[in-house]
Amino acid sequence: MTVRPSCAPLFLIVVILVFTLPVWADQPAITSLSETPFGTTPDGQDVMLFTLTNAHGLRAKVITYGAILVSLDVPDRHGRLADVVLGFDDLDSYVRRNPLFGAVVGRYANRIAGARFTLDGVEHRITANAGKNHIHGGGDKRFDRVVWKGSSYRDGTEIGVRLTHFSPDGEEGFPGNLQCTVTYALTDKNELKIAYSATTDKPTVVNLTNHSYFNLAGAGSGDILGHELMIAAPWYTPAGEGLIPTGEIRSVQGTPLDFTEPRRIGERIDELTETRGYDHNYVLKSSYGSSVLAARVREPLSGRVMEVYTTEPGVQLYTANGMNNVKGKQGKVYSSHHSFCLETQHFPDSPNKPHFPSTVLRPAQEYRSATVFRFTVE
């Protein structure tokens, strides 16, 4: 997260997914947007499903529970669609056993050491939900476990859904009343945009991301070890106990973390015995607020290619190391290394590492961030 002191009080993250569909290029421009019930939470809250379809048939589905992207249908080199994100078919599974499939994560994505931080001389104790540490927003009120208010919209060639959520002062231990908005939108350029914004009335820390698990061969099709990955990051943040960063920023050169040139995800994954795979924060070259290429992933059999652009300083590569036979959509089983996440973010434990890019948001500041996932075929 990059805070600019000269800006107005707004917190904004944008995620864009661009899909090139050469097979459908000549189809007429027809878009659709629908809203249907998806179920009711155990405490009686209705959850809605928004389905967005662009002019080329690209389809994204989003629910108001957790602001979750539940499916994303993307074509291969022959124009055949496959859902490339992991998820469930029913609300009950998202409520009771979701490992953050497709979710908006907040208030703070990734880890904070000791579940505490000091801001302006005041120590704040937040929910410890990873041993003694904090991860991904805490407990029952973290952003992936609440029902957001949703409404659909059309704006020129763009269709979308806007979701809002209010997190009161002290929730999960975080200071400040935080008003959040997340917008998912499809354009006729085959873009899926996810925009986040937030304002606060007290100094606080914020670090939001989307936690979609990708498999470019199709969710539930097997492992992703043959996917070819490039990460445009010459450094990473080494971590110690509990995957808390040590504070050092180290070169990836000569390590299994070196994806500066494309190679298979599975090429050196077995060397990572401590984490059983990738779960590392990469330090990107500074973008100074403009979007830069962070990563490129290619699935050879389908020809699908995903490029990730972001203004965030870091990206977490996670290869679902602890996933153990989770039954997902259409009864398909997801296991370890059957998917990967590229979570654009500020660094883990930034509130306790003053030399890391700041995640502090103040009432008189504006935060802007953008991430772009661009899909093409080869």
3-state SS string for the chain: CCEECCCCCEEEEEEEEEECCHHHCCCCCCCEEEEEEEEECCCCCEEEEEEEECCCCCEEEEECECCEEEEEEEECCCCCEEECECCCCCHHHHHHHCCCCCCEECCECCEEHHHEEEECCEEEECCCCECCEEECCCCCCCHHHCECEEEEEEECCEEEEEEEEEECCCHHHCCCCEEEEEEEEECCCCEEEEEEEEEECCCEECECEECCCECCCCCCCCCCCCCEEEECCCEECCECHHHCECCCCEECCCCCCCCCCCEECCCCHHHCCCCCCCEEEEECCCCCCCCEEEEEEECCCCCEEEEEEECCCEEEEECCCCCCCEECHHHCEECCCCCEEEEEECCCCHHHCCCCCCCEECCCCEEEEEEEEEEEEC
Catalytic option among 158, 299, 343, 366: 343
Give the per-residue pLDDT at 254: 97
- The predicted model gives 22-26 an average pLDDT of 43
pLDDT band per the 50, 70, 90 thresholds, residue 28: very low
Percent of the chain with pLDDT over 70: 92
211 tagged catalytic: yes
pLDDT band per the 50, 70, 90 thresholds, residue 30: low
Whether residue 149 has pLDDT greater than 70 = yes
CATH dotted code for 3-377: 2.70.98.10
Please indicate whether residue 368 or residue 104 has the higher confidence score (pLDDT): 104
Whether residue 138 has pLDDT greater than 60 = yes
The CA angle 48-158-199, to the nearest 5 degrees, is 65
Give the per-residue pLDDT at 193: 83
Distance between CA atoms of 54 and 355, rounded to whole angstroms? Answer: 43
Burial of 81 (0-12, 13-18, 19+ CB in 10 A): middle
pLDDT band per the 50, 70, 90 thresholds, residue 1: low
Give the per-residue pLDDT at 67: 97
The token pair at 362 is 């103040």
- The predicted model gives 78-101 an average pLDDT of 96
Please indicate whether residue 163 or residue 371 has the higher confidence score (pLDDT): 163
Give the per-residue pLDDT at 309: 86
- The predicted model gives 135-160 an average pLDDT of 95
Give the per-residue pLDDT at 127: 98
Give the per-residue pLDDT at 27: 44
**Where is average pLDDT lowest: 57-66, 112-121, 219-228?**
57-66
Pairing mode, strands 149-155 and 158-167: antiparallel
| 151 Cβ contact list (under 8 Å, min separation 6) | 161, 162
- The predicted model gives 74-84 an average pLDDT of 92
Please indicate whether residue 182 or residue 49 has the higher confidence score (pLDDT): 49
- The predicted model gives 316-345 an average pLDDT of 97
- The residue ranges of every structural domain in the chain are 3-377
- The predicted model gives 216-227 an average pLDDT of 98
Give the per-residue pLDDT at 16: 46
Asked if 309 and 320 touch (Cβ cutoff 8 Å), the reply is: no
Percent of the chain with pLDDT over 90: 77
Give the per-residue pLDDT at 26: 42
Tell me the average pLDDT of the chain: 90
Whether residue 174 has pLDDT greater than 90 = yes
Catalytic option among 136, 165, 211, 280: 211
Distance between CA atoms of 232 and 261, rounded to whole angstroms? Answer: 8
The token pair at 232 is 């445009």
Which is nearest to 291 in space by CA: 13, 20, 8? Answer: 13
- The rounded Cα 158 to chain-centroid distance in angstroms is 21
Give the per-residue pLDDT at 77: 92
Q: What is the pLDDT of residues 242-275, one digit of tens each?
A: 999 999 999 999 999 999 999 999 999 999 999 9
